[in-house]
Structure 1
Amino acid sequence: MTDSGERTTMTRRTAIGGAAALAAAGFQTAPAYAGSGHGHDKTVRLSVLGTTDLHGNVFNWDYFKNAEYDDSAHNDIGLAKISTLVTAYRDQLAQDRHAPRPLLLDAGDTIQGTPLSYYFAKIEPITGGHIHPMAAAMNAIGYDAAALGNHEFNYGLDILRRFQQQLKFPLLGANAQDWTTGLPVFPPYVLKKVHVPGRAPITVGILGLTNPGTAIWDKAVVENKIKFGGIVELAKLWVPRVRKAGADVVIVSAHSGMDTSSSYGDALPVPENASVLMAETVPGIDAVLVGHAHQEIPERLVTNKVTGEQVLLTEPLKWGMRLSVIDLDLQHVRGCWKVVSRHSQVLNANSVAADPKVVDVLQKDHDKVVGYVNSKIGTCKEAMSAATAPWEDTAALDFINFVQADAVSKALAGTPQANLPVLAIAAPFNRAAKIPAGEVSVRDVAGLYIFDNTLLGVTMTGAQIKAYLEFSARYYKQVSGPGPFPSSDVTNAPTPTAPPGTPDYNYDVMGGLAKPLTYKIDIAKAAGARILDLQYGQVAVTDDQQFVVAVNNYRQSGGGNFPHVSKAPVVYNRQVEIRQLMIDYVTATGEVDPATFHTTDWSLVSNGAPIVINS
């Protein structure tokens, strides 16, 4: 058996606990409220700990690299390390006999994202009786509540409901509503009675809200079953109800980023990211644990426009890299607890060792998945890398497009679309992905396609294809001259819907199956007028020419807000995962030969002349 990642990690750091662990993680004691103390007229500090976007990470392990996880910032990941921080924080508070026990929350996207979570959804599904690794880990740590994330729906409602049943705490989603009645199909909130030694208990209301984009991104799973109201709209409905139910404090766990924006444009009437908007416009919220955007925001304070009260927001990055610590100072005023001061910070998980308790619970699952992803399934004649895929035609992305187009083409046999030319789209999801020459494992192939997307086929016209490629080409910054340019000067251009820069996953490369689809992208020109010499089989594409395009479910359902594709007629949808199609192709053929599918069909130019880009 391949050595597991956590055994490697456990030898790397000396286990530390309590105050030393917190100090190493960057903990700073929150400033005390001016009236603090332990008398009946003094404040009580309620602490709430939070994680988000764990995405199937328990161990500090990169399954695609078969090595301990590391990045340029030397972050560590996983619930095993989060558990160490949580235990240290609880232990520190336990030394103060007046301090309430802290609550522990999560803001969603839990059961998708790693081979560990994939394996127990698809290879050995938890519907067969096995407890989901994330449920086992979160139960062991002792979470109090979690919100649904949009990725919770990726594997279908049966897996999600089984995961929900396995949890020892509620999975909340006030805006996940029955398609017909509008009633919530998950618990909207939970009330937690927090014991305060010698004082009245604090009743904490925890409201969960998930991302309305789920209606687009997992349309095939939720359509006609679950609809998703807006974050702000449903908070306005439920926060007063939580208060009326007896909550002294209201905390929202929201799988929705801080600042108002939407990757799906106007495809939905409500924004994807709306946590600050909610805090500003919905009265009665004390703090928000934010998720979805994968940002590290230790503390943000906004003023509610109705009450004038401050609302605290914090987002602890992703994958268990950080733990948010919310400190709320409360005073007992006229028989009720009232928040009088608030502060938050994040703790860094890279400073501590994994909790042996969590490691022991999940080690067998981890070892099983490490063995699975390292199993050999074929060979590759030439190495393929995605490192330069965002700015040049590579065999790596051509392989994805070939497998997708081939699967759709074979499925169309005997249908009215059987004779239409088949194209496919792929995005450079993972610049670090590569398939080596020689033996190829499951993890080599899976690393090229890190999302659990399924494959569809739609029909589009030549004019729509060109518009699609023009939209995709917004990914590039406008430059002139032959270069050489560093890639950072050319890729990831900011747009109104992506002010920090267009992510790699929202840039699509398109290719043909039986014949090449060729084009040039002139990045000296303004966005919207960049696609030159669009040809299929060396013949200019006409506006009314008909094509079948193989796309992933994220794109077809409106993800990225690309034109035409979400409304295009669907001619293929067997709910087959693209990553699994790639694995099956290598397993069936036994060999990957880039010469059979890779040609240079598109290129970047400046005023028609080739340009040079350095990585």
Structure 2
Amino acid sequence: MPLNRRDFVARSAAVAAGTAVAASAAGGTAEAASKQHPDRHPKPNPTYSFSVLGTTDVHGNCLNWDYFSDHEYDDAAHNDVGLAKISTLVTQLREEIGHGRSLLIDAGDMIQGTQLSYYFARVEPIDVGHHKAPKHPMALAMNHIGYDAAALGNHEFNYGIPLLRAFEKQCDFPLLAANAIDSKTSKPAFAPYIIKRIRVPHQPDIRVGILGLTNPGIAIWDKANVSGQMTFPGVAEQAAVFVPKVRSAGADIVMVTAHTGIDEPTSYGDQLPWPEDAAGEMAANVPGIDAVLVGHTHVEVDQRLITNTKTGKTVVLSEPLKWGMRISRFDFEVELVHGSWEVTSVTSKVLNSNTVAEDPEVVALLAKEHAAVVAYVNQVIGTSTTELSIARAPFQNVPIVDLIGKVQADTVKAGLAGTAYADLPVLAQAAPFNRTADIPSGQVRLRDAAGLYIYENTLAAVVLTGAQIKDYLEFSAEYYNTLAVGAPINEATLTNANNLPDYNYDEVYGVSYDIDVSQPVGSRIVNLSFQGAAIDPAGQFVLAINNYRASGGGNFPHVATATQIWTSSDEIRNTMIAWVQAKGEINPADFAANPGWRLVRAGVPLYA
């Protein structure tokens, strides 16, 4: 294990003292011994410092702009987003650190998440038109900033492998994924790692190995896009294979960029043998790693220190917040020992991009693409008889979420017409995906509908029994913390139990039920009925459901193993837009659930 500078000085002093004693015992002096053996007082080993900067989960945010509201991005914490902000921050950091003493990497989820990235995947796709195909805004911005490498995230596969390959060709930096394995060759389908050189005056280069890893859940979440083409083994398992290879290839330092959280619960349960968030396990069990840029979980981690169980060495982990809100900075101190650079110190911290202005060069670079998307999202697609807000959706049955359910149920019913399942009742799953979604009274623009369904999910249909529907709802009701009888209602702490995100809280449209939050998990769904009568546990129902959930995302019971009877390749967001265009008018009287669901405590409704 390399010594830090304090240990090195102490060791040198001890060696010097031992030399003096030995010389005295031989009848001479330390000075005489030094004259006879000048190499016994070696010069201190050369040292150097450099930094690795990292982003993750940028999700198509190039500019500080919210395409759903058509305004500059802002939130309650006054965060800013986008690579234009990151560009300014990186420029400042390179000036401080030294342009030749820093590297810039990303931990994945680059090309999905905004209407900007969607536009260049579906409206003007980058994999159509050959040399005339448009350039992806994320490639343009990341090339301009000068990224050295990026790991693939699971959302890179949302639009299919051909579009991902087109994006890869447009990037001036490699996309890394040591655990995205080609099904035919059993070899990595993308570069597993690269080695970057830091030039040191009058000394050997520092060779920094950058190993990229992605999330095994891709095999579930994007099964339709990757099945038969790629497999995705475990993060820690594949790191154990490749870290020695990176070292053997000459790397002095190993930096891992991984689209996996540190130690969060796994959303796909036991459907895969590998955990979803394995960066902590990897750091603890795989020797040879110096630091890890973490992604996927959208949390901010300045610095997490994990001791490797095999070497006793400390591994430094950091995760910057999503969407370009933050950047992680890893500062390395190294020492040249016997011709190789060894790490003596690593620290990390996270920096906020809202402290800087957007880089005007990035803004200008993407002006044409930005203008095209602004025009696209501002198309009028219909009208609404009243304003519909999602703000109360976690606490009350609101019509705007029923709209999602209605569109999905209607689409599946039409898809099943003429089949053996046409006479089964159709229910639909929906969730409050975006707490800021709002459909105004009057004109409805494309961005209003798109803001209601912010993910690129597609629609599927499975067959479940009434008993399985109840199990599904019981699982969903784990979203609420227990509220004792007589305790005050605090909405700030009522939801998101065990850090469950809003997108993993499902309503089921087409049935009525109460959620008794005074009861323990597993015993909360009461008065479950269909068309005014208690639901038949043995009755069969069709559940319209998004592909993420149908493939096991969120680990909801029964759906991943249920009989799937229908699928669509069109995004639910587009289906909703087309539904509004066809109807011409959004009127809650056409779809609002009655009575729907409600929160109760010991049978008493929490809200009137």
Q: What TM-score comes out, normalization by structure 1 length?
A: 0.90
Secondary structure of the 2:565 match is strand
Q: Is 1:591 matched with 2:585?
A: yes
Q: Is 1:610 matched with 2:605?
A: yes
In structure 1, the residue matched to 2:476 is 472
Q: How does 1:498-537 map to 2 (within 5 A)?
A: 501-512=499-510, 517-537=511-531
In structure 2, the residue matched to 1:127 is 127
In structure 2, the residue matched to 1:104 is 104
Q: CA deviation at 1:403?
A: 0.3
Q: CA deviation at 1:482?
A: 7.1
Q: CA deviation at 1:322?
A: 0.9
Q: Does structure 2 retain, via aligned residues, the 8 Å contact 1:116–1:366?
A: yes
Q: Does structure 2 retain, via aligned residues, the 8 Å contact 1:175–1:210?
A: yes
Q: Is 1:549 matched with 2:543?
A: yes
Q: Does structure 1 retain, via aligned residues, the 8 Å contact 2:107–2:257?
A: yes
In structure 2, the residue matched to 1:431 is 435
Secondary structure of the 2:127 match is helix
Q: Is 1:356 matched with 2:350?
A: no
Matched letter for residue 503 of structure 2: Y
Matched letter for residue 602 of structure 2: N
Q: How does 1:276-425 map to 2 (within 5 A)?
A: 276-425=280-429
In structure 2, the residue matched to 1:12 is none
Structure 1: 5+ residue stretches without partners:
1-31, 495-500
Q: CA deviation at 1:72?
A: 1.4
Instruction: Return the alpha-carbon distance in structure 1 between the equivalents of residues 521 and 114 of structure 2.
Output: 35
Instruction: Return the alpha-carbon distance in structure 1 between the equivalents of residues 279 and 290 of structure 2.
Output: 13
Q: Is 1:165 matched with 2:160?
A: no
- Give per-residue Cα distances to partners, 1:274-322, cap 9 Å, x unaligned: 1111011000001101101111111122111111111111111111111
Matched letter for residue 392 of structure 2: T
Q: CA deviation at 1:483?
A: 6.9
Matched letter for residue 273 of structure 1: D
Instruction: Return the alpha-carbon distance in structure 1 between the equivalents of residues 74 and 83 of structure 2.
Output: 16
Secondary structure of the 1:237 match is helix
Instruction: Return the alpha-carbon distance in structure 1 between the equivalents of residues 243 and 334 of structure 2.
Output: 19
Q: Does structure 1 retain, via aligned residues, the 8 Å contact 2:396–2:607?
A: no
Matched letter for residue 441 of structure 2: A
Q: CA deviation at 1:219?
A: 1.1
Instruction: Return the alpha-carbon distance in structure 2 between the equivalents of residues 347 and 531 of structure 1.
Output: 44
Residue-pair matches, total? 566
Q: Is 1:582 matched with 2:593?
A: no
Q: CA deviation at 1:47?
A: 0.9
Instruction: Return the alpha-carbon distance in structure 2 between the equivalents of residues 257 and 303 of structure 1.
Output: 17
In structure 1, the residue matched to 2:189 is 185
Secondary structure of the 1:86 match is helix
Secondary structure of the 1:117 match is helix
In structure 2, the residue matched to 1:234 is 238
Instruction: Return the alpha-carbon distance in structure 2 between the equivalents of residues 608 and 393 of structure 1.
Output: 17
Secondary structure of the 1:428 match is coil
In structure 1, the residue matched to 2:30 is none
Secondary structure of the 2:50 match is strand
Q: Is 1:455 matched with 2:459?
A: yes
Q: CA deviation at 1:323?
A: 1.2
Q: CA deviation at 1:484?
A: 6.1
Q: CA deviation at 1:40?
A: 7.8
Query: 540-549 or 139-148: which moved more?
Result: 540-549
**What percent identity do the matched residue pairs reach?**
55
Q: CA deviation at 1:490?
A: 2.1
Q: CA deviation at 1:523?
A: 1.3
Matched letter for residue 543 of structure 1: P
In structure 1, the residue matched to 2:25 is none
Matched letter for residue 394 of structure 1: V
Q: Is 1:442 matched with 2:446?
A: yes
Q: What TM-score comes out, normalization by structure 2 length?
A: 0.91
Q: CA deviation at 1:229?
A: 0.5
Instruction: Return the alpha-carbon distance in structure 1 between the equivalents of residues 175 and 44 of structure 2.
Output: 35
Q: Is 1:56 matched with 2:60?
A: yes
Secondary structure of the 1:470 match is helix
Q: Does structure 2 retain, via aligned residues, the 8 Å contact 1:482–1:606?
A: no
Q: Does structure 1 retain, via aligned residues, the 8 Å contact 2:49–2:101?
A: no
Q: CA deviation at 1:222?
A: 1.0
Q: Does structure 2 retain, via aligned residues, the 8 Å contact 1:33–1:329?
A: no
Q: CA deviation at 1:42?
A: 2.8
Secondary structure of the 1:119 match is helix
Q: Does structure 2 retain, via aligned residues, the 8 Å contact 1:256–1:274?
A: yes
Query: 108-117 or 191-200: which moved more?
Result: 191-200
Q: Which structure shows the bigger proportion of residues in helix conformation? A: 2
Q: Does structure 1 retain, via aligned residues, the 8 Å contact 2:483–2:489?
A: no
Structure 2: 5+ residue stretches without partners:
10-42
Q: Is 1:46 matched with 2:50?
A: yes
Instruction: Return the alpha-carbon distance in structure 2 between the equivalents of residues 545 and 76 of structure 1.
Output: 50
Instruction: Return the alpha-carbon distance in structure 2 between the equivalents of residues 290 and 490 of structure 1.
Output: 29
Instruction: Return the alpha-carbon distance in structure 2 between the equivalents of residues 326 and 238 of structure 1.
Output: 22
Matched letter for residue 75 of structure 1: N
In structure 2, the residue matched to 1:113 is 113
- Give per-residue Cα distances to partners, 1:98-156, cap 9 Å, x unaligned: x8431100000000000000010011101121110000000011100000000000111
Instruction: Return the alpha-carbon distance in structure 1 between the equivalents of residues 184 and 464 of structure 2.
Output: 33
Q: Does structure 1 retain, via aligned residues, the 8 Å contact 2:212–2:257?
A: yes
Change (3 A) 1:183 1:602: same
Q: CA deviation at 1:182?
A: 2.4
Q: CA deviation at 1:33?
A: 5.5
Secondary structure of the 2:509 match is strand
Runs of 4+ in 1 over 4 A off after TM superposition: 32-36
Matched letter for residue 591 of structure 2: F
Q: CA deviation at 1:203?
A: 1.1
Q: CA deviation at 1:430?
A: 1.0
Q: Does structure 1 retain, via aligned residues, the 8 Å contact 2:219–2:226?
A: yes
Instruction: Return the alpha-carbon distance in structure 2 between the equivalents of residues 186 and 537 of structure 1.
Output: 52
Q: Please, which of 130, 148, 155 is the counterpart of residue 152 of structure 2?
A: 148
Q: Which structure has more RCO (C-alpha within 8 Å, separation ≥ 6)?
A: 1
Q: CA deviation at 1:425?
A: 0.4
In structure 2, the residue matched to 1:17 is none
Secondary structure of the 1:337 match is strand
Q: Does structure 2 retain, via aligned residues, the 8 Å contact 1:483–1:611?
A: no
In structure 2, the residue matched to 1:27 is none
Q: Does structure 2 retain, via aligned residues, the 8 Å contact 1:216–1:558?
A: yes
Q: Does structure 2 retain, via aligned residues, the 8 Å contact 1:215–1:227?
A: yes
Secondary structure of the 1:258 match is coil
Q: CA deviation at 1:531?
A: 1.1
Q: CA deviation at 1:363?
A: 1.1
Instruction: Return the alpha-carbon distance in structure 1 between the equivalents of residues 355 and 163 of structure 2.
Output: 34
Instruction: Return the alpha-carbon distance in structure 1 between the equivalents of residues 385 and 369 of structure 2.
Output: 33
Instruction: Return the alpha-carbon distance in structure 2 between the equivalents of residues 376 and 560 of structure 1.
Output: 34
Instruction: Return the alpha-carbon distance in structure 1 between the equivalents of residues 330 and 48 of structure 2.
Output: 13
Q: CA deviation at 1:241?
A: 0.5
Query: 71-80 or 40-49: which moved more?
Result: 40-49
